[in-house]
Amino acid sequence: MTILIIEDEPKTGDYLMRGLAESGFPVRLARTGREGLAMAKEGAADLALVVLDVMLPGMDGWQVLAALRADQATEQVPVLFLTARDEVQDRVRGLELGADDYLVKPFAFVELVARIRTLLRRGPAREDDLIRIGDLEIDVLRRRVRRGATTIVLTSQEFALLHLLAQRQGQVLSRSIIASQVWDMNFDSDSNVIEVAVRRLRRKLDDPFPVKLIHTRRGMGYVCDLAPVPVPDAP
């Protein structure tokens, strides 16, 4: 399985390619967004992860990510943004668009490798279980989701979020727990990234069906269950 680097700065691209290859990863390098998108689609079957810059000529990283998530062949491929854009709104935008992680330049190479290994461990190679909640069926090994006879296509981020909630069926998970487990990072308290991610998952998983599975506990977090967790009576 190959890691695709999409980076237009020659020294950075060469450094990443050499370093990741020396760390034992098969690597390919694209110098523009359009080239990277074409390589991702052509090699989707063997694509393990994309390391993506934002500021690319012609087609920027935001556009590349949107195109990856819109294509069924690449929509579940993990994407790690590696960019000099370090504003909070940039990080939020990347995650809302479907990125799985966001690392700011300059960066420590050992941290990049650690994040890559974490994203790759989320894949199905270590799991072969099947989760069922009502008419919801999650095939973790094949990363397939169904409600009854309906197949639900999820992005990598959406699948990770659903998997976390379903694994802990009936437990209310706080925003901080979801952030650390799904994105391996902390969010500012005024960020709405978690709410946006849950809303997008609900559109696919709950909105078309009469029985809702993802419930909000205001001020506490989210829970996946056949019925919302009751609020205890005040003493």
Mean pLDDT of the chain: 87
Tens digit of each residue's pLDDT (9 = 90 or more) over 68-85: 998 888 988 999 999 998
pLDDT band at residue 188 using 50, 70 and 90 as cut-offs = low
Tens digit of each residue's pLDDT (9 = 90 or more) over 127-183: 447 899 999 999 887 788 999 999 999 988 899 899 989 988 888 888 888 887 777
Alpha-carbon Rg for the chain, nearest whole angstrom, is: 18
Angle (nearest 5°) at CA 216 between 212 and 217: 135
Nearest-angstrom CA–CA distance, 123 and 145: 15
Q: What is the pTM of this model?
A: 0.56
Phi-psi region of 26 (alpha: psi -120 to 50; beta: other; left: phi over 0): beta
One-letter amino acid of 63? Q
Q: Write down the pLDDT at residue 186.
A: 58
- Per DSSP, which regions of the chain are E strands? 2-6, 27-30, 47-52, 79-83, 101-104, 130-133, 136-139, 144-147, 150-152, 214-217, 221-224
Higher pLDDT, 186 or 78: 78
Q: Is the pLDDT of residue 123 over 60?
A: no
Residue 204, beta-bridge partner list: none
- Report the candidate in 223, 103, 93, 204 with the shortest Cα–Cα distance to residue 155: 204
pLDDT band at residue 125 using 50, 70 and 90 as cut-offs = very low
Tens digit of each residue's pLDDT (9 = 90 or more) over 86-102: 888 888 888 888 899 99
Does residue 95 contact residue 102 with C-beta atoms inside 8 Å? yes
